[in-house]
């Protein structure tokens, strides 16, 4: 947020435009924030001034990212969490509540998993793992976060979802039923994570307060037939 100096050399309060395009003073939980879209989202929100907590199953990777963000001057904390575990999700939200004093402004449900297999080859374990991470987990996190979001009074929830719900994709039938990330991740190279994270940041900004209950497709025209896969 910028500060202007008047002719008398005194600081003037930020303009309403400054406030609409800033996340200064706001808090966020970004799941799966150590790589891909999650990593880009943490960077984007932190760049707008938000304080962020993220989680990962990989302690080493989490520590490396936290050290990196500290060096950039970002306010980011993190904890290890396997989101397929209900108990660990509860513990994650306790950690978030403690870190942000009982309030949470932004919940970004990003973490996802998949297996590339034909529909006839998927097992019950595959189904349980993918649906547990991609559907049960974000739904439960919304329930757990509700008191914190309500206490905020200005909260937003963003789901990183899928174009698979509107078009057929091969070998990801279970993933398509939960959510699929059509971006340049180790899974599928279509768009840069930063192109998704910038839209996530916009939805979190006060400037987007009237954008609610919407599905926004960010896929370079893929679902409209205007994008050709390389």
Q: Are 163 and 188 in contact (CB under 8 A)?
A: no
Complete DSSP assignment for 7-50: TTSPEEPPPHHHHHT--TT-EEEEETTTSHHHHHHHHHHHHTT-
Residues 6 or more apart whose Cβ sits within 8 Å of residue 188: 180, 181, 182
Question: Which of 74, 127, 139, 175 is labelled catalytic?
Answer: 175
For the record, the structure tokens of 180 come out as 């699929």
Question: For the stretch 194-225, what's the b/e string if a residue is b when 16 or more beta carbons lie within 10 angstroms of its beta carbon?
Answer: ebbbebbbbbbbeebeeeeeeeeebbbebeee
Active site residue 139: no
Indicate which residues carry an active-site annotation: 175
């Amino acid at each position: 947020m910028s500060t202007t100096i008047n002719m008398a050399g005194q600081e003037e309060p930020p303009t309403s435009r400054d406030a609409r395009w800033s996340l200064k003073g706001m808090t966020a939980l970004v799941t799966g924030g150590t790589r891909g879209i999650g990593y880009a989202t943490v960077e984007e929100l932190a760049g707008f001034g938000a304080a962020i907590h993220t989680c990962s199953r990989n302690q080493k990777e989490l520590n490396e990212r936290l050290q990196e963000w500290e060096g950039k001057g970002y306010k980011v904390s993190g904890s290890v969490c396997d989101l397929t575990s209900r108990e660990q999700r509860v513990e994650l939200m306790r950690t978030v509540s403690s870190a942000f004093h009982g309030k949470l402004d932004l919940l970004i449900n990003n973490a996802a998993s998949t297996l590339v297999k034909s529909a006839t080859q998927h097992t019950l374990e595959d189904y349980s793992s993918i649906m547990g991470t991609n559907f049960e987990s974000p739904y439960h996190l919304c329930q757990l976060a509700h008191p914190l979001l309500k206490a905020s009074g200005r909260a937003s929830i963003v789901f990183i979802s899928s174009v698979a719900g509107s078009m057929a994709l091969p070998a990801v039938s279970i993933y398509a039923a939960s959510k699929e990330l059509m971006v340049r991740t180790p899974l599928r190279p279509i768009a840069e994570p930063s192109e998704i994270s910038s839209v996530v940041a916009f939805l979190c900004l006060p400037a987007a307060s009237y954008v609610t209950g919407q599905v926004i497709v960010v896929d370079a025209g893929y679902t409209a037939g205007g994008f050709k896969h390389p």
